[in-house]
Structure 1
Amino acid sequence: MLYGQTLSHRIDSLLYLRIPDTTGPGAVFMVAKKGKIVYRKAVGKANLELDVNMQTGNVFQIGSMTKQFTAVAILMLEEQGKLQLTDPVSKYVPGYPAGDKITIHHLLTHTSGIKDFTAMKSLSSIAQKEMSPEAMVNFFKDEPADFSPGERFSYNNSGYVLLGYIIELVSGNTYENFIQHNIFDKAGMKNSGYASDRKVIRNRAYGYHKKEHGYVNKNIISFSVPFSSGALMSTANDMFLWQTALNKNLLLNANSTQKLFTSYTLAGGKPVYYGYGWHLRDINGTASREHGGSVFGFKSMGVYIPEKDIYVIGLSNCDCISPTELTREIAGLTLKAE
């Protein structure tokens, strides 16, 4: 019991040091160890207009953590024999520029060289439009490549949008439905889904930006734009169920799961320290699997330390509160408490 109290007290102190304004937007942090939740805390407000306190069960947009789900969906289709990671993009999207040289593996590892649509100046022209996956792909496909496939690692949202489009083409289902039926339902993630500003979503945390004069509501974006690179919503508890499902090979077999967490290399042999949907790093010298997310009004971060079976998730409802380093610090404290 002393272990739990000591760790909780240390994490509490860290949270209130990093997020001192509990009257503004906030965050939820959770720590699980050896399959059990050992810490869970909500700070700040879920809704400023109604002065509603944050709760640990609040639903957040998770931004680029969506890429983990997209990667798992691709490997599911590989297990079903519907695609291979060595397949060229041109097999599914005929006429895609350099599509015979860019493989699904390149898309998964951010080594395709495709222009990242978030860096395109014309993005504002479509940000609030309802875009089909095909229209999104057409939006960036004719942009000049940044480099040859396999030559460099460059974090890339376009590659993951293309993966979502391939999931739809190969499965005959929408990305939203594929993820819902094959991942959320199987893992018991009842409070996760494809993001929407129109649906009434129980326990939704509202997103905010911080300006010089105070907080404002987040910018509106059509979720069809980030699509399979960043359009999912979840809760801290559901993300723990996600990690549990991965650990127990409930979604993929052990061989496919290992592919997610393999550090791949560039054509010249240089490591990229990225698997399929996860950065492969370390916390104080102990190997970790990490990914964050950022979308208007929200930021997220998840860290898993396989050697000690420690999972830390941080979700915030203001892009002024980045949980990235805080989540890593909490993971470090949990490791130290071993």
Structure 2
Amino acid sequence: MKLIFLKQSLSFIIIALVMQYTYSQTLETQIDSIITIVFNDKEGPGGVFLVAKHGKPIYKKAFGKANMELGVNMTPENVFQIGSMTKQFTSLGILMLQEQNKLDVNDAIVKYIPDYPNGEHITIHHLLTHTSGIKDFTKMKSIMSIARKDLTPKELVDFFKDEPIDFQPGEKFAYNNSGYVVLGYIIELVSGTTYEEFIEQNIFKAIGMNDSRYANDREIVKNRAYGYHNRGAFTNKMYVSLSIPYASGSLMSTVDDMLKWQEAINNNLLVSQSTIDKVFSKNTLNNGEQFTYGYGWHLKNIDEVPTREHGGSIFGFKSMGVYVPSLDIYVVGFSNCDCNSPTITTKNIAKLMIDTFKKN
């Protein structure tokens, strides 16, 4: 009798393991097929994708080359410039200072930058939510005159601050890199340290993001993925001083470190839950109209399931991250060619994960 029971138990365990293996293989195959629609050139630039459930990676793979000239394959440990995903870190930096009572998001920026035009009407909240109306310096025709210059944050702010405003603060939502440059400058003025040092000490080191840093094209960066353009043929990325994207887009990271970042947010390791609630609250314009941006994240949905999203684009690189709070699913993708955007790919993987886990 015992022998029969043991055989039945072993059979059940084997069947369960086979089913689990088949399921994981099927999910892996499905994710592979989504990614290789775009990231299918084994000899060209590639990317890295990570999918996590409950904070644990269930998929992590690299595609293509990290360095085309040397024929170096991409690995999941490669370090990428993440472009505007930097804004998440700038936002949390501001809110960490608010929790220390060193600033308030309702403060007018003239409190910190006395000579800022119209600064008495523009608040930190306006900067965080892209509703300030100040000119986006990346859209100015004169941007190339400073693109290769190493500017101080004050010099960069001075470059655009006297431009006519596009609209009155709070009147519209218009994605704006200048606002996050000003936020970075305010972090420096309030903290008494550089933006780079503030993020390094208070975020990266605090939560163990050991492979993340302020980007630098001159220093040796272990496991760096090199950036490329494709304008009829692949070329190395154009040189731009990384003092220019600054607090709006100058950080580097890995997919594993970005998962640590997501987990730090989920577990209130840097700011309180009440602050996190504010970060992920939709905001309203002066006329009461609601828009789908919090503080550093787009607040959208996939198949009516709420998501928190943000991408990035900087010379030679693109990035995208999607978090699904209700299912605790995080998907992040990096590309080392600005010709291959991971945005649709990452969203399609998130959709697959939603469809898969909503059924279970």
Using structure 2 for the length normalisation, give the TM-score: 0.93
- Number of equivalences: 337
Q: How far is 1:11 from its partner?
A: 0.5
Following TM superposition, by how much is the alpha carbon of 1:3 offset from its aligned partner in structure 2, in angstroms? 3.1
Identity %: 60
Structure 1 Cα separation of the partners of residues 331 and 346 of structure 2: 6
Question: Aligned AA for 1:57?
Answer: E
CA–CA separation in structure 1 for the residues paired with 2:199 and 2:177: 18
Cα deviation, residue 259, structure 1: 1.1
Q: Write out aligned runs for 1:21-100 (5 A).
A: 21-100=41-120
Which residue of structure 2 aligns with residue 199 of structure 1?
219
Cα distance in 1 for partners of 2:340, 2:115 equals: 42
Query: 1:281 is matched with which residue: 300, 307, 314?
Result: 300
Match of 1:116 among 103, 123, 136: 136
Q: Is the Cα–Cα contact under 8 Å of residues 302 and 313 in structure 1 kept in the other structure?
A: yes
Could you list the runs of 4 or more consecutive aligned residues of structure 1 that deviate by over 3 angstroms after TM superposition?
none
| 8 Å Cα contact 1:3/1:337 also seen in 2 | no
2:343 pairs with 1:324: yes
CA distance in 2, matches of 1:280, 1:45: 33
The aligned residue for residue 257 of structure 1 is 276
| Aligned twin of 1:209 | 229
Q: 1:179 is paired with a residue of what secondary structure?
A: helix
Q: 2: CA distance between counterparts of 1:119 and 1:211?
A: 21
Paired residue secondary structure (2:338): coil
Residue 288 of structure 1 contacts residue 303 of structure 1 at CA under 8 Å; is this kept in 2? yes
Instruction: Quote the offset at 1:39 in angstroms.
Output: 0.3
For structure 1, the 5+ residue unaligned runs are: none
Q: Secondary structure at the match of 1:150?
A: coil
Q: Distance in 2 between matches of 1:23 and 1:14?
A: 19
Q: Does 1:266 align with 2:285?
A: yes
State the Cα deviation string for residues 265-308 of structure 1 (Å, max 9, x = none): 10111111000000000011100000000000000000000000
Distance 1:38 1:52 in 2: 25
Task: Work out which of the residue numbers 132, 139, 142 in structure 1 matches 2:162.
Answer: 142
TM-score (norm 1): 0.99
Task: Report the CA distance between 1:17 and its aligned residue.
Answer: 2.1
- Structure 2: gaps of 5 or more residues: 1-19
SS of residue matched to 2:36: helix
Cα distance in 2, alignment partners of residues 269 and 8 from structure 1: 44
Report Cα offsets for 1:208-259 as digits up to 9, x if no partner.
Answer: 00021x2000000101001000000000000000000000000101111111
Q: Distance in 1 between matches of 2:220 and 2:42?
A: 26
Instruction: Indicate the structure (1 or 2) with the bigger Cα radius of gyration.
Output: 2
The structure 2 residue matched to 1:182, chosen from 202, 205, 208, is 202
The Cα RMSD (Å) is: 0.6
Question: Is the CA contact (8 Å cut-off) linking 1:33 and 1:310 kept in structure 2?
Answer: yes
